Structure 1
């Protein structure tokens, strides 16, 4: 059995991308997934699955579309991948870790996507592509910043989903718990 941290893209508490977490847990558990948990209302799901990450992601994407409504991009990460993403954070203690964000590609990026990110300029912000995530340092209000997941999507032509350091740390801790609680 494989454990996954699943990050849904664009989930909102209201509107067209609304995904009630209780309903999501119900639908995913009814489909046979085990240890189904969610954390906060922004599309963080943990499951145990006998399938690989891509097959699990595609199946859950279909379950959401069929039983809840929105068609959302998502990524399934193994707990060790979340740990690797956190460990790979290039922004050390000199940076406010509350202002570090991790953007994960929901599909394989196109040729040159990482080079495009390295070459781009985001005044006052920094973006550094890593093997699992694009690390972003955004010292100002994220909603007004020139660097955000939307800017990276436009630059690379690839959908991404973003989480902050604290969310990833919490999801990693939850994924390492032996049982749903």
Structure 2
């Protein structure tokens, strides 16, 4: 049995992509996912399930589509991979956890345009791309960042972002401390 973390993109945002986490947990339990837990309403789920990543992701995607009429993009990773992503974070002790964001990318970018992202930085911002995770420290807040909205375009790959507070909360929810 593998412990998984799923990050769903675009659910419960601005009245769109409505996916009640309580209902999702119940449906997942019924479908054989075990020890299911969610963090806030933005599509952060941890659970246990045997199987290969593609199979587990497909089962969860079909479940969400069948029961909720949605097919949100998702980044599924093992708990071990999430622990590693947090451990590799080059900005582990920011003044505020919400100022560090991790983009969990669908794959490693083949031809990322990091120079374009460099040109968009505001003073104090720093970022690092490590394989399929993009780390951004935006000490003025993500809302002030000019590059946050352009990360995927300039990396050439889709993904979903979570702040460090959420990542650490997911690790705790999964039963592992970071």
Does the alignment reach a TM-score above 0.5? yes
Query: 1:47 Cα deviation (Å)?
Result: 1.1
How far apart are the structure 1 equivalents of 2:126 and 2:159? 17
User: 1:5-24 maps to which residues of 2 (within 5 A)?
Assistant: 5-12=5-12, 14-24=14-24
Contact 2:21 2:41 in 1 (8 A): yes
State the TM-score, normalizing by the size of structure 1.
Answer: 0.85
Where in structure 1 do 4 or more consecutive aligned residues deviate above 4 Å? none
User: 1:1-181 maps to which residues of 2 (within 5 A)?
Assistant: 1-12=1-12, 14-91=14-91, 93=93, 95-98=94-97, 99-105=99-105, 107-113=106-112, 116-117=113-114, 120-121=117-118, 122-124=121-123, 125-148=125-148, 150-176=149-175
Contact 1:103 1:135 in 2 (8 A): yes
Contact 1:91 1:137 in 2 (8 A): yes
How far apart are the structure 2 equivalents of 1:170 and 1:76? 16
Change (3 A) 1:46 1:120: same
Query: 1:110 Cα deviation (Å)?
Result: 4.2
Query: 1:119 Cα deviation (Å)?
Result: 5.5
Match of 1:6, SS?
strand
Contact 1:118 1:129 in 2 (8 A): no
Aligned residues: 172
Unaligned runs of 5+ in 2: none
CA RMSD of aligned residues (A): 2.0
State the TM-score, normalizing by the size of structure 2.
Answer: 0.86
Query: 1:44 Cα deviation (Å)?
Result: 0.7
